[in-house]
Amino acid sequence: MSNQSAAASQWPQWPWVATMVILFLGPLAVPAFLASGSVPLMRLGGFAHDILSTAICPTPARSYWLFGEPMGVCARCWGATIGLWLAWAIARRGSALLGPFLALHWLPRLGTASLPFWLWIFEIVRLPAAPLELLVVNGMLAGCSAGLYIASIWPGMLTVRDGTAGAR
């Protein structure tokens, strides 16, 4: 494949990075807005918290508090965002450790990437009072595995060993 056709088959990475920035800063903005004292910002923060804690996060009561207000998502979801950043960093650097994962067909790769999410169910059901640090680590595992799967199917996201970008 020529360099021109290889470059044409790559997707831009800015949507991934923009999404991760929003996922990282959004939950931090919620308590900042709620604690701001500005009525419009407080309403926006309350609206964002309601949406995130209803539609996104399975256990919003298990969140960190900043400025005396809860974050927009639980510690597990916050950890998943950190795990997505970690996966992106791994994908950008390339790694020989990803070889066996990348060798799988996309469906078993998806199944493998979903395994850490079963820890979420176990932790929510069996360890409802688990420390927030465990939730962060649990979320990081799931976020990283999901991110590695996404990177594996995103054309041009993975950096292969010879220094060129490409998806396998």
User: Residue 70: enclosing H or E segment and its boundaries?
Assistant: strand 69-70
The three-point CA angle 100-102-105 to 5° equals 105
Q: What is the mean pLDDT of residues 118-129?
A: 86
pLDDT at 167 over 70: no
- Distance between CA 90 and CA 137 in Å, rounded? 17
Provide the Cα torsion 29, 32, 38, 39; round to 10°.
60
Q: Kindly list the domain boundaries of the chain, sorted by start residue.
A: 3-153
Which residues are paired to 159 by β-bridges? 165
Q: What is the pLDDT of residues 96-113, one digit of tens each?
A: 778 888 888 989 999 999
Q: What is the pLDDT of residues 16-69, one digit of tens each?
A: 889 889 888 888 888 999 999 899 999 998 898 888 888 887 777 888 899 998
- Distance between CA 78 and CA 85 in Å, rounded? 11
pTM above 0.85, yes or no: no
